[in-house]
A and B are shown apart, each in its own frame.
Chain A
């Protein structure tokens, strides 16, 4: 039986260990934190430069001073970009007291799984959503926030299903955020025993009471198809059924059944099919009981198909919708050799030439678009309900994707959202979003005027055609945020 406390210990330890293990001391951050009063230099090239590219990929978009600050990390631009990558891969080295202070009002999200039931479900979803927005907007640990976004889709849980309404908050903390840059096998195991996941994919009712009982295959199937091997990863319907048998008996205490220990994950030997299983050509001997789960995790978490599947998804997120095979191969190989260390795997990805070359190949998803607009304009926000509603309209409300594959990460899926993006750009620039405010005068002054503003938001100098269109407008800011260039990263 795994308690929530153990989850936290496990998660915290692994996150710390991975962060320490894979990175030398990060560069001093004083330069990143010192407020500058002078105007900052925005990008000054006709194409998106390396710094804008790397910041754009590893974060939810550059803030007004980011380009200048990262550029100042080293005289050589490539070394400067490398140092930015290094700092982002070691999130614990980045001071995050600002965002931590902003998140303090959402203390309910720190409650143990059982205590979450004390809160209204709508409150928890709103708090979770606000916290995600505030982290993406204000955290210095941007790559961590980006990877949390990635894993939230990979291990998708619809917070509307059953007790996920209460338990997703624990999953977000103990599975996703604890391991986002840590160890994939540890994250997978944590996910398999996450109370919310046991609800979402019906693992909790996968019970074998008497001969003839059929296992509930839901989790087993998604474990193989989505979380690990991938749909063409070489498993069969028989493997799905055998994995389901091996995982039978794990459950979570629910409101209907008990008063005490709500949300507690337990193994019931009497509901476990303890016979021999054949999974992916290997035998799991009879009589292992709860340790069947370990056997399954060992078989799938570092399977070559898992490495390939995850490498493909990571390259799709960071390089292009159609990820180049060479990069996928190198990333998969590091995933395998590092035994699923996520930071090491990403480091390899960020050093591929395909990554460096892939400028503006990706369409921002709506959450990314909205957050990048808030960051680009230095908008203050409470991350509150007005933003939640706009994300919902754009079809990208966090924790609300109904089916297990999570929100899509390709351009065609999001082409229908342009109108809502334009709407958002106009509302933000016009200060018509409750709880969010920007100061266009200060913004232009920080960036040294209109031309600086254009270059900052477009991540390059404006073309002559753009200049002409923007100059004719009464306010260029909504147009810049709604422009085709700002939809991409």
Chain B
């Protein structure tokens, strides 16, 4: 049976990766709009970002005005954007596209779970990988340890639980399987969080959105600062499936995203240097808007990378343009850059290159020059 006390030996200054998944297929053409492309304005007569509204990033793109809180991070060179990015999955199905993107192929487990397992630095702990939310995301499947929690505050068995915990550890000791492993992780996590609870609270309260997303970012920052060996955290942000009334749907979602990231950046301060945030989505939206002032499932979208080591202030990935010959299938922005090639350079800052390549089996990596 795993001992109840192995909370020592964590490398506290280790790097943390935060993966934010925009569930529902976020419209890259709204988040980072190709305002210099005439075809964009023709295809989106109602939903477009005009050249006047957008925050100009370069000679093609502008940031949606609702993403303004990200502008300082762009200006300071900490935020990079990759456009026309996505996966090879062309089903345009949320489930399939998320499934492929998170598994990164047909191998068992998810890309992040695989990476953490192959990387295997030191003793994996219950707080090595934390999924904020209610379900373990597919990306984290197969991690040596992964904990799903909605809030650090509720993560306790309450008073008088010590005896119960010890007996449970014994009852699960003979389970040499995933359930047993999960039980051992849970016991360890409870121990660690007891220590966290007695740690001093941060002084600078950053202005996080008051919702599950903001709370997840705030607690991620807390775990990073506490140095409990957090290697990866995943946070979902939903509300991007804009078939109908896209503007009303996306504006609050973009608000939450941008305000959350800006607050996280401010809150972490110098610890941001050892933290990288990546924002991804399963696919983009059809270039042409539909008759319900929405957009249907498409292909290419955008990814954001923020933090330690990222050489930002650049839109990477190459812009194919929206000419009729460039569009894919029913009129979609093609995928110019595979999302793995955005994740790979970020992961390479955390592990040896063979670990990174084995995390994406069956795929020849051609990393985007995100770091330099």
Contacts and interface: CB of A to CB of B under 8 A. Distances in A.
A and B are partners in one complex rather than unrelated chains:
yes
Interface of A: 202, 205-209, 213-218, 221, 225-226, 231, 237, 240-241, 363, 392-396, 402-405, 408, 411-419, 422-423, 426, 465-466, 469-470, 472-474, 478-479, 482-484, 487
27 contacts: A202-B294, A214-B286, A214-B296, A225-B91, A225-B93, A225-B95, A231-B95, A237-B90, A237-B329, A240-B92, A363-B179, A392-B134, A393-B154, A405-B94, A405-B95, A414-B135, A415-B179, A416-B182, A417-B148, A418-B179, A419-B149, A419-B186, A473-B163, A479-B168, A479-B171, A482-B164, A482-B171
Nearest to B151: A393
Contacts of B330: 237, 241
A98 to B, nearest CB: 32
A484 B180 contact: yes
Given A395-B135, A418-B182, A479 B167 contact: yes
Contacts of A241: 330
User: Top 6 closest A-B pairs, CB basis?
Assistant: A395-B134, A416-B148, A205-B292, A415-B182, A213-B291, A416-B136
Contacts of A202: 243-244, 292, 294
Contact of B288 (A214, A216, A403): A214
Contacts of A484: 171-172, 175, 179-180, 183
B64 interface: no
B176 to A, nearest CB: 11
Nearest to B147: A416
A415 B243 contact: no
Given A393-B150, A396-B134, 19 more contacts: A213-B291, A214-B290, A214-B291, A218-B243, A221-B93, A221-B297, A225-B91, A237-B90, A402-B23, A416-B135, A416-B136, A416-B146, A416-B148, A418-B182, A422-B164, A423-B158, A478-B164, A483-B168, A484-B172
Contact of A487 (B149, B179, B291): B179
B292 A216 contact: yes
A484 B180 CA distance: 8
A408 B24 CA distance: 17
A482 B168 contact: yes
Contacts of A483: 168, 171
Interface in B116-144: 131, 133-136, 141
Contacts of B150: 393
Contact of A426 (B158, B182, B243): B158
A216 B296 contact: yes
A479 B171 CA distance: 9
A474 B163 contact: yes
Contacts of B136: 412-416
Interface centre among B96, B180, B292 (most CB of A within 10 A): B292
B189 to A, nearest CB: 7
Interface centre among A237, A465, A470 (most CB of B within 10 A): A237
User: Size class of B's contact patch?
Assistant: 35 or more
B71 to A, nearest CB: 30
A472 B158 CA distance: 20
A419 B291 contact: no
A349 to B, nearest CB: 24
Contacts of A474: 163
B174 interface: yes
Contacts of B92: 221, 237, 240
Given A393-B154, A415-B179, A426 B135 contact: no
A417 B147 CA distance: 8
Nearest to A403: B94
B203 interface: no
Contacts of B175: 484
A488 B330 CA distance: 46
B351 interface: no
B164 A426 contact: yes
Contacts of A215: 290
Nearest to A416: B148
A469 B167 contact: yes
Contacts of B23: 402-403
A416 B170 contact: no
A395 B132 CA distance: 11
Nearest to B178: A415
B155 interface: yes
Nearest to A208: B291
B130 to A, nearest CB: 10
B25 to A, nearest CB: 11
Contacts of B189: 419
A423 B149 CA distance: 13
